[in-house]
Structure 1
Amino acid sequence: MKTQILAALGESGLQQASALNAGLAANDRIKYDFSLLQMAIEHARHPEQPPPSLKRERLAAGIDDARLDDAVASAQVVDKKVRVPGAAGILDRVEDDMRLMAAPALAAPLASDGSGFGDRLAALLAARPAAKDDLVDPEAISAMTHVGKGPDSLHRLVMDLHKRLNSMQAAMAQETLDGAAVYGLGAADRPLVSAFMSGVNRTSQLKFNHPGLATTATRTAGRLVIQNDIGETDAHVIVVHVQDRLVSITYTDVHPERLAFFQSMLRPRGFTWEAGRTGTLTAGSPFYLATGQVQAADDEACGANLEFLGSRLVFLIDWNRARKQLRGFQRGADRIALLSWAAETETGHRGFLELGGAVLVNRAIEATAGSAMRFGDRLCDVLGDAETTAFLQFVFRAATDGMLSSQSHALIQDRVRVALAAQFSNEEQQLLNRAAEHAGLVFELATLVRDGVREDGAQCAKRARRARGFEHDADQIVVDTRDAVRRRPEYAVFLPLLEAADEAADALEDAAFLLALEPLQGKALDALQQLADLLGAASQEWVKAVGHAGQIGRAKGIAESEDFLAAIANIGKLEHEADNAERELAANAIQHAGDFRQMHLFAAVGDKLEGAADALKKASLILREQVLEHVVDG
């Protein structure tokens, strides 16, 4: 067990015999007292900081003196000392509890192995600091509670005694229940321990070769206590108390990000958390502590909470390492989201790490990316955030499934390379698909204008609103294409292509807006309808051209090529006819328009439609050059 951090937590012991039970309970009280004195001195020196509350730790340690809850906030510097309310009683209790804690170790046969517990205890208690008038010397308290290099201390002795009591406790375990070392359980405790272990065992295979997840359970002080060591980090500990269907967790970690991740995993079960606190390990390294709980309505729900809790622990092992391994591929929030997905789907991240982590992906990039990536590029900057996340989800699944089914590492690595190669090769097709979406929007806009030439004002206004939405969607596709081209400069041709086509979308939306201003009438309306019909036909040919271009890229079929070239030719022909129709419209408007406003509106709508035809021709020529030079010839 991780004696240092468990001592700092002040958690109840996991023992059966009355001597061990009393000794480990004394350990809890001592560690609470040490923490209280240290925090009180720190707050007295820095009173501007909010004082922490140790009420929960006090209650967990079985100390009933509620006055101690105000000791930290009330501590004051007096000359070179600090007045801590109740300090004299605290130090007296420490001495009594030190003797109580040492008693089982001194009475056991192991005490003759040279540990020197008795001599150390006598010397250290003789030198313990005084607290007259509740005044303590900060240096003396520091000497008593330090655990680093240097002279012996009461804290170091407590840690050594705790380690001895824990080894004695392990030897006393009466049985193994579903993988947990248990003793002293009541009849009602066993299904709860089994529920917790059901969750642990269901996902523990996802740790692969990593040590950890050893569990101990017992009943003490009227409640079930379950402890799991999670992994190897000294400060990575979870202790679970269960009483009256209330599951309480004390969790410590050296990584605040992993603590937040752990809390987020338990959110679906309704756990509530107190504000986190910090402490200090040997050599000054900080650790973070959080306490949470959830109340169940019945035994079944309590067991479900414990099972879910147990199933989540494997996803904490090496979590921070996995997060760091993903830095070269994803942004911060996306890394957390990926690890959350790995936990929610019970895919896990340990398989990814077992196969090399970042090295696995980097080798695939070297083998497949070619000129698509340059030194310093992140994968998300080249593929895009969503595409990178999807690829890494595949990597995690392939690694986990492959490891669980004993596939060779080489085979799994090859699968990752093939998947990444598909991502890179699909980029051009994806851009063509986006161009096809844009072409569909242009066709919708042209149809709205064509069918709205002879409608009344209300219907034209409705069409204008729909046209505004289509034009907005078309603009967004251009923005997305611009981002994609920034990531993949070799596909830069798609940007002017979409920008040209978007000029047609803008002109058509403007035409729909103009038609909604005032109903058009007179003989010139026939000429306007003819021009609008030509734009409808041209936009339809543009849809065909983009669609055929995508198929040519896949199969290079002769029929697809012929259809593509025919569509491009038709767009050019329709653009020429639109020029003539626009002139015919202008002549009719001048001759037959009822007033100047009607004449101006006819001319403005005609100009927009002729501009849309020009833009489609320009886009079609860009696409034709792309297809002939880079697809057919390639």
Structure 2
Amino acid sequence: MKQQILAAIGEADLRPGAAVNAALAANDRLKYAFSLLQLAMDQAQHPQPPAGSLKAERIACGIDAAELDAVIAGAVMAGKDCRIPQAAGICARIAADLRAMASPVLPTGKPAGLAKRVDAVLAALPAAADGLLSPAAIAAITQAGHDSPHQLVMDLHKRLNAMQADLAEEILDGAAVYGITAADRPLVAAFMAGLHRTAPLKFDHPGLDTTATRAGARLSIQNDIGTTDAHVLVVHVEALTVSVIYSDVHTERLAFFQQLLAPRGVAWSAARSASLASGSAFTLATGTITAKDAAGCRDYLDFLGSRLVFLIDWNRARKALRGFLRGPDRIALLAWAAEQDIGHRGFLELGGSQVVNRAIEATAGSAMRFGDRLCDVLGDAESVAFLQGVLRTASEGLRAGQSPGLLRDRIRVALAGHFSKEERRLLLLAADHAGLILELAGLVRDRLRDQAHDGKRAHRAARFEHEADLLVIEAREAARRRPEQLVFRTLLEAADNAADALEDAVFLLELDPLEGHALAALQDLARLLVDAAGEWIKAVGHAAQIGPAAGTAETGDFLAALDGVSAAEHAADAAQRSLAASALKHAKDFRQLHLFITTGDHLEAAADALKRASLILRDHVLVEVIGG
């Protein structure tokens, strides 16, 4: 059992163990008193509204003295001292509760010299005349250190926890219990049911030891969670109200725990800080919920117990993910693992960051450079998806008895799939870009069929061209993250020249209607561009389905589509020359001659751009994908 944190036990009665119950209840009150003095001193030295009251904490530890709620707000400096309302009474409470804590321990004779130490600490307590206490005196009371009241409280608490465990009358579903009633048994059983449901997720890590007792009107359940001294959870159940008192050295983990309980609507008091004997700080917070009925109370206790395993080694897991995800995504991943009842301990058991780094070394190749995070290469969403798979594979695989070597190989294969998935994603992006090119080619064809001018086609063409530019920007960002994907940037930039040329053609055609013999030649050229764009879509679509082991059947349609692009480009060259000749012969004026020739040049340039893009894609698929 642990010594630094509240072990919240209520009032004592005449049953065996009553003195220990009373002593542990005194421990609750002492921690409250220490916090009260600390916050009062902070308020006096650095006044800032609104001041806290610690009312929830006062009620939780059973002190019926509402006047103490105004102590913090009323604290002021008087020279070098702090003038604190009720200071003398607070010091008297500290002295009385120290005696109550020591009372059951002194007869055991352990540790040696305890009686003299208690007397010395009591003698050193200030009288706080006129409510005055120096900051040094407050620090001497509230900070852990040699022969301080706070240090004595922690040492007594350690001994009392051991005595409490020895007093256990039975083991109820794994919890050491004493002094409980028949009505308490379903509550303890509910908490333990939730705890046992997820406890296997901690694997061999120690922790989750539980004790329970009743004192007066309140059932108290204490769980020590993991091995950290200041990491403890205490649950008070009184009627249908459940209070959760949680302490942690990591404020981030406290926030995570509060997030885990958020779906149940737990109301939390403001967290407060204290110090361990080592000088490191910990944070304490109290959350309360009132159930509608007894079934709801048991359900909440079951849920509460089931969440504790996800706090064990949480900070270690968060740090292990640092090289792969951004801060918020790390927290979100751990929250997802808790919601899915997967947890993160399996990931740590399998090797934590090491297992991911080895998978990267085995599969990423030149995709990762020194200092790169996985999220900078795969992207945030893809990296989160991969690590979700890692946590699931590790947890479920280890629990099923599968070998660590097998699980590491599965993680490597999964990562390789994510890297190849990025290539497929970029090919699909190229397919979306090809679709916009076809839309633009269709606008040119339709404009030449219908000479009515309304300006709508030019607006649509501008929108399509803008959407194509955004896809190019996305490909450039992918190439920045992963230099081996530079081919897709080059590919889309080449294809985007076709989109630019077609948008320019639509703009020109909206300037003035065209007519005469040359119009038919321009219409033929426009149809060829539609054909070329259609073949380009097919080529990109087929490329996305081709893998390293592709055979003749899989590559046949791809090569046929590429040939279609090349044939359309060759035909477009001839059509452009025919158009030039016809325009020179039949254009009614220089204005129309310029529009015919310039529009034809744009269409022929678009065909050339598609052929260049098709050659880039051909080399990549045949050399890098199939040949590689």
TM-score by length of 1: 0.88
SS of 1:492's equivalent in the other structure is: helix
Cα deviation for residue 115 of structure 1 reads 3.4
SS of 1:4's equivalent in the other structure is: coil
Could you tell me whether the CA contact under 8 Å between 1:454 and 1:520 is conserved in 2? no
Give matches, 1:7-18, under 5 Å: 12=10, 17-18=17-18
Partner of 1:414: 409
Partner of 1:270: 265
Partner of 2:171: 176
Cα deviation for residue 324 of structure 1 reads 0.5
The 1-side partners of 2:459 and 2:232 are apart by 60
Partner of 1:129: 126
The 1-side partners of 2:260 and 2:597 are apart by 63
Q: Structure 1 residues 81 and 429, CA, compared in 2 at 3 Å: closer, same or farther? A: closer
Partner of 1:74: 74
Partner of 2:63: 63
Cα deviation for residue 178 of structure 1 reads 2.1
The 1-side partners of 2:274 and 2:559 are apart by 73
User: Given the alignment, which residue of 206, 209, 220 partners 1:225?
Assistant: 220
Could you tell me whether the CA contact under 8 Å between 1:457 and 1:517 is conserved in 2? no
The 1-side partners of 2:332 and 2:111 are apart by 52
Give matches, 1:239-258, under 5 Å: 239-258=234-253
Higher mean C-alpha deviation, range 417-426 or range 79-88: 417-426
Could you tell me whether the CA contact under 8 Å between 2:11 and 2:216 is conserved in 1? no
Cα-to-partner distance string for 1:155-188 (whole Å, 9 max, x where unaligned):
2222232223222222222322222222333444
Give matches, 1:576-595, under 5 Å: 576-582=570-576
Cα-to-partner distance string for 1:300-327 (whole Å, 9 max, x where unaligned):
3332222222111111110110111111
Q: Structure 1 residues 627 and 235, CA, compared in 2 at 3 Å: closer, same or farther? A: same
User: Given the alignment, which residue of 595, 598, 615 partners 2:609?
Assistant: 615
Could you tell me whether the CA contact under 8 Å between 1:441 and 1:474 is conserved in 2? yes
Partner of 2:256: 261
Cα-to-partner distance string for 1:224-281 (whole Å, 9 max, x where unaligned):
3222111111221222223343332222211122122112222222223333332222
Partner of 2:389: 394
Cα-to-partner distance string for 1:383-407 (whole Å, 9 max, x where unaligned):
3323322222222122112211122
The 2-side partners of 1:307 and 1:58 are apart by 27
Could you tell me whether the CA contact under 8 Å between 1:14 and 1:216 is conserved in 2? no
Q: Structure 1 residues 178 and 526, CA, compared in 2 at 3 Å: closer, same or farther? A: farther
User: Given the alignment, which residue of 482, 485, 504 partners 1:488?
Assistant: 482
User: Given the alignment, which residue of 148, 159, 168 partners 1:164?
Assistant: 159
Higher mean C-alpha deviation, range 32-41 or range 219-228: 219-228
The 2-side partners of 1:565 and 1:365 are apart by 33
SS of 1:3's equivalent in the other structure is: coil
SS of 2:103's equivalent in the other structure is: helix
The 1-side partners of 2:473 and 2:11 are apart by 61
SS of 2:62's equivalent in the other structure is: coil
Cα-to-partner distance string for 1:18-65 (whole Å, 9 max, x where unaligned):
333332222222222222222222332233586433111111222222
Cα-to-partner distance string for 1:271-301 (whole Å, 9 max, x where unaligned):
2333333222223312222222333333333
Q: Structure 1 residues 466 and 120, CA, compared in 2 at 3 Å: closer, same or farther? A: same
Partner of 2:144: 147
Structure 1 residue identity aligned to 2:354: V
Aligned length: 626
Could you tell me whether the CA contact under 8 Å between 1:129 and 1:141 is conserved in 2? no
Partner of 2:316: 321
Cα-to-partner distance string for 1:86-143 (whole Å, 9 max, x where unaligned):
1111112222222233222335xxx234533333222322232121111123333333
The 2-side partners of 1:530 and 1:93 are apart by 99
Structure 2 residue identity aligned to 1:178: D
Matching of residue 575 in structure 1 with residue 572 in structure 2? no
Higher mean C-alpha deviation, range 327-336 or range 415-424: 415-424
SS of 1:239's equivalent in the other structure is: strand
Structure 2: which 5+ residue stretches go unaligned? none
The 2-side partners of 1:167 and 1:616 are apart by 79
Higher mean C-alpha deviation, range 267-276 or range 535-544: 267-276
Partner of 1:286: 281
Structure 2 residue identity aligned to 1:132: A
Could you tell me whether the CA contact under 8 Å between 1:227 and 1:239 is conserved in 2? yes
SS of 2:4's equivalent in the other structure is: helix
Higher mean C-alpha deviation, range 356-365 or range 371-380: 371-380
Partner of 1:112: 109
Could you tell me whether the CA contact under 8 Å between 2:355 and 2:408 is conserved in 1? yes
Higher mean C-alpha deviation, range 218-227 or range 53-62: 218-227
Structure 1 residue identity aligned to 2:208: L
Sequence identity percentage: 62
SS of 2:180's equivalent in the other structure is: coil
Matching of residue 310 in structure 1 with residue 305 in structure 2? yes
Partner of 1:203: 198
Structure 2 residue identity aligned to 1:53: S
User: Given the alignment, which residue of 493, 496, 513 partners 1:499?
Assistant: 493
RMSD value, Cα: 3.2
Structure 1: which 5+ residue stretches go unaligned? none
Structure 2 residue identity aligned to 1:416: I
